[in-house]
C-alpha cells in the first residue's frame, strides 16, 4: 500500500473513532460492564418511558418492564415525594429510581450507596435519557438523592453536556 493510501486510511479510522467518542453523552463516562436487575413501573402509552427502558438495557441492566394502570399507586408505596415525581418509577436492589435518571448514576450509587433510598430526576427534562430525541433541546438538570431521613441532596448536575 502506498504512503498516501495508508495516510488516508489512518485519517478515516481516526475520524470514525472520534465520531464514536463525540457521539457518547456525558452520562456514559465511567460505564462498566456490571449487570443489574431493575424493575420499571410505567404507563403502557408513555413513549419516553420506553426510551428510558432502552437506555437501561443498552447499559447492561436486566429490565423487568411492568406496565400499570395506576403509576401513582407505586409512587405512594415506594414513598416518592410529589416534588420528585416523574412519569415512571423503578426499583433496583432496594433503591427507588424516579424519572429519567442516567444509568451510570444508578450504577455509581449502587457501588457506593451510603444511606440513599431514592434517586430522582423530577418532571421530564428534555435531553435526559429517554427524552433525548434527535434535535431536542438539552436542558440542564439535576439528579437528586433522598436519604433514609428524607434529606434531599444533589447527586449529580448536568449542564452543557
Q: Within 13 Å, how many C-alpha atoms sit on residue 151's CB side?
A: 7
Section 106-128 average pLDDT: 95
Q: 29-38, 92-101, 150-159: which range is least confident on average?
A: 29-38
% of the chain residues with pLDDT over 70: 79
For residue 44, the tally of other CB atoms under 10 A from its CB is 10
The helix/strand/coil state of 106 is: helix
pLDDT band for position 3 (50/70/90)? low
Integer Cα distance of 108 and 111 in angstroms = 5
What per-residue confidence (pLDDT) applies to 1?
A: 60
pLDDT exceeds 80 at position 69:
yes
Q: What is the pLDDT of residues 12-26, one digit of tens each?
A: 444 344 343 345 555
pLDDT band for position 46 (50/70/90)? confident
pLDDT exceeds 60 at position 5:
no
Helix, strand, coil content of the chain in percent (nearest 5) = 35, 25, 40
% of the chain residues with pLDDT over 90: 68
Q: What is the pLDDT of residues 138-159, one digit of tens each?
A: 999 999 999 999 999 999 999 9
Q: Cα 70 to the chain's mean position, in Å? A: 23
pLDDT exceeds 50 at position 11:
no
| Greatest CA separation for the chain | 68
pLDDT exceeds 60 at position 136:
yes
Q: Do 80 and 120 form a contact (C-beta atoms < 8 A)?
A: yes
Strand partners, 66: 41
Domain 27-158 has CATH 3.40.50: no
pLDDT exceeds 50 at position 65:
yes
Integer Cα distance of 2 and 18 in angstroms = 24
Map grid coordinates 504512503 to a residue.
3
Section 63-79 average pLDDT: 96
Amino acid at each position: 500500500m502506498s504512503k498516501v493510501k495508508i495516510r488516508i486510511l489512518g485519517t478515516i479510522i481516526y475520524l470514525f473513532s472520534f465520531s464514536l467518542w463525540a457521539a457518547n453523552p456525558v452520562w456514559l463516562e465511567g460505564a462498566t460492564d456490571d449487570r443489574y436487575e431493575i424493575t420499571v413501573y410505567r404507563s403502557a402509552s408513555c413513549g419516553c418511558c420506553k426510551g428510558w427502558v432502552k437506555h437501561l438495557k443498552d447499559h447492561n441492566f436486566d429490565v423487568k418492564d411492568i406496565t400499570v394502570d395506576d403509576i401513582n399507586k407505586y409512587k405512594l408505596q415506594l414513598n416518592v415525594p410529589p416534588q420528585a415525581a416523574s412519569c415512571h418509577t423503578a426499583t433496583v436492589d432496594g433503591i427507588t429510581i424516579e424519572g429519567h435518571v442516567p444509568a451510570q448514576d444508578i450504577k455509581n450509587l449502587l457501588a457506593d450507596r451510603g444511606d440513599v433510598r431514592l434517586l430522582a430526576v423530577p418532571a421530564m427534562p428534555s435531553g435526559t435519557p429517554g427524552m433525548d430525541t434527535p434535535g431536542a433541546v438539552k436542558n440542564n438538570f439535576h439528579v437528586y438523592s433522598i436519604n433514609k431521613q428524607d434529606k434531599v441532596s444533589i447527586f449529580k448536575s448536568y449542564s452543557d453536556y
